[in-house]
Amino acid sequence: MDGRTSTGGGHDEERTRRGRLWAWGHRAAVQHGPERHTLLLIGKSTLAATLAWFTAADLLHAQSPAFAPFSAVLIMNVTVYQSIAQSLRYVAAVVTGVAVQAALGFLAGPDPVTFVLVAAIALTIGQWRALGAQRSQVATAAFFAFSTYASATSNTERATQLGQIVLLVLIGCSLGLLVNVVLVPPLRYRSAEHGIRALAGALESLLADMGPAMRDGEFAEEHARDWRSRSNHAQALVSQARSGLRTAEESVPFNPRRLLPQHRGRTSFANYRAVLDALERAAYQLASLTRSLERWREEERDDSYRQFLRCYGTYLGSLEEIVRVLAQLDETHLRDQAAQLCELAEDMQEQRRTVTEQAESDGLPLGDPTRPYGVLVIEATRLTEEFQYTCDVLQTHVQG
C-alpha cells in the first residue's frame, strides 16, 4: 500500500510539473511578459553564440575559439543600452588583463614569479569600480592570457595568440550587439506601464477596502493594521516601478524599433515619470494615514464622529476612481484618460472640501497631536494636491 501511495504521489507531482510547464509555455505564447522575454533572450543568445563560434572556429581557425561565443552571450542583456555599456566594460577589462600579462610576460617570461605578479596586478585593477560587473574579467583574461602565453613556443606566436584573444572578444561582442539590435530588440514601454500599473493597482485595492469601511464606520484595529501593512507593501513597489522606468528609458535611444510607425512619437517617458512621482508620494501619505487610523481610539468610533468618517470614506472613494484610471495608463489613449482624470479631479476636490467642512462643523480637535483628525485632514489635502497636479500635467501634455 505504501508503494502504491508513493507512486500515486509521484504521478501527482509529475502532473503538477507538467501543468506548470504548460502554463508557462502558454503565457509565453499568448502575452508579452517575462516568459516570452526569457525565450527570446535564450534564442538570441543561442544565435549570437553560434555565429561567434562559426566565425572563430571555421573562418579564423582560432586556437581558443570559445572566447568569441562566451563574449557574445556575456553581453546579451535585456536592453540594447545595457548590452553596449556592458560590452564596453567587458572589452576594457579583457584588454587590460591581456595587456598586464603581455607587459610582464615579455619582460620576465612565463615563470611562477611572473604569474604571481600578473595575478596581483590584475586583481588590483579588478577593484576599479568603473568596470562595474565586468571587474572580475580583468583577472580572468589575464589568467587565460598567461596560459596561452606559456604554451606558445616563440615571442611572435605569443604576441599573435594574445592579440587573437582580444580579436575574438571584439568579434563576440560585435555579433552579440548585432543580434540584439536586429532581432526584436525589446522596447520597454510595457516595463514602464507594468511597474506603474502594479503600484497603482496596490493603492487602488487599498483604497477600495478603506473607503467602504470608513463610510460604514466599521473598522477595527486589525483592519487598520492590515491597511498599514498593505501601504508599506505599496511603498516597496515604488522601487520596482522606478527600475522598470529606468530600463524603459535606457532601451529607447539605441533601439531601431523606435523608428517604426507604430512606435514613432512614443519615445518620451515624462508622463510615466510624473504619474510615478505622484503615486510614490501618495503611497507615502497613505502610509501616514493608515498609521493614524491604527492609533484610532475605540471611544472615537461612536455616532459623534460617524459623519466625519462617512465623509472621509467618500473622499477615499474619489481617490480610488482616479487611481483606477492611472492603473490603466496607456500612451495610445492618453487624451481620453486625461480628460477623464480632470473630471474625477473635480469630484475629488469637492469631497476634500466636504471633509474639511465636516471636521470644522463637528468641532474636531484638529490641533491635538494625540488625535488622528488633524493628520487625516492634512493628508487629504496633500493627496488632493498630488493627484490634481498629476491630472494637470497629463492634460497639459495632450493639449500641447
What would the mean pLDDT of 273-302 be, rounded to a whole number?
76
201 pLDDT higher than 70: yes
- Give the cell for residue 324: 483606477
pLDDT tier for residue 189 given thresholds of 50, 70 and 90:
very low
**pLDDT number for residue 260:** 43
227-231, 248-252, 387-391, 392-396: the lowest-pLDDT one: 248-252
What would the mean pLDDT of 366-393 be, rounded to a whole number?
83
Q: How far apart are CA 100 and CA 107, in angstroms?
A: 11
Length of the chain: 400
Q: How far apart are CA 47 and CA 176, in angstroms?
A: 9
Contact between 324 and 203 under an 8 Å Cβ cutoff? The reply is no
pLDDT tier for residue 259 given thresholds of 50, 70 and 90:
very low
9-18, 360-369, 390-399: the lowest-pLDDT one: 9-18
**pLDDT number for residue 142:** 92
Q: How far apart are CA 34 and CA 40, in angstroms?
A: 10
294 pLDDT higher than 60: yes
DSSP letter string, 1-16: -HHHHHHHHHHHHHHH
**pLDDT number for residue 174:** 92
**pLDDT number for residue 125:** 93
- Give the cell for residue 400: 500641447
Q: Which residue has the higher pLDDT, 261 or 343?
A: 343
What would the mean pLDDT of 183-194 be, rounded to a whole number?
57
**pLDDT number for residue 37:** 67
Q: Measuring CA to CA, how many Å separate 83 from each of 174, 268, 389?
A: 10, 21, 37
What would the mean pLDDT of 211-236 be, rounded to a whole number?
81
Distance of CA 278 to the CA centre of its chain: 18
**Helix, strand, or coil here: 194?**
helix
Q: What is the mean pLDDT of the chain?
A: 80
**pLDDT number for residue 270:** 66
What would the mean pLDDT of 231-259 be, rounded to a whole number?
68
Task: Give the CATH class of 189-399.
Answer: mainly alpha
Q: How far apart are CA 251 and CA 84, in angstroms?
A: 11
298 pLDDT higher than 60: no
Q: Measuring CA to CA, how many Å separate 335 from each of 3, 278, 352?
A: 65, 19, 26
Q: How far apart are CA 186 and CA 38, in angstroms?
A: 12
Q: How far apart are CA 110 and CA 123, in angstroms?
A: 18
| pLDDT tens, residue by residue, 303-318 | 557 888 889 999 999 9
- Give the cell for residue 115: 604569474
CA atoms within 13 A on the CB side of 115: 12
The angle formed by the CA atoms of residues 173, 79 and 283, to the nearest 5 degrees, is 150
The angle formed by the CA atoms of residues 46, 181 and 68, to the nearest 5 degrees, is 45
11 pLDDT higher than 80: no
What would the mean pLDDT of 366-388 be, rounded to a whole number?
83
Percent residues over pLDDT 90 in the chain: 23
Q: How far apart are CA 353 and CA 249, in angstroms?
A: 39
pTM: 0.54
pLDDT tier for residue 195 given thresholds of 50, 70 and 90:
confident
Contact between 272 and 196 under an 8 Å Cβ cutoff? The reply is yes
Amino acid occupying residue 84: I
**pLDDT number for residue 252:** 57
105-119, 138-152, 155-169, 356-370: the lowest-pLDDT one: 356-370
- Give the cell for residue 229: 501593512
**pLDDT number for residue 190:** 52
| pLDDT tens, residue by residue, 40-90 | 888 889 999 999 999 999 999 988 898 899 999 988 876 666 778 888 999
| pLDDT tens, residue by residue, 321-335 | 998 888 877 766 778
Eight-state DSSP code of residue 185: P
284 pLDDT higher than 80: yes
Q: Which residue has the higher pLDDT, 269 or 367?
A: 367
Q: Which residue has the higher pLDDT, 265 or 11?
A: 11
Helices 303-326 and 373-399, interaxial angle, to 10°? 20
**pLDDT number for residue 335:** 81
- Per domain, the residue ranges of the chain are 35-182, 189-399
Q: Which helix (H) or strand (E) holds 237?
A: helix 221-251
263 pLDDT higher than 50: no
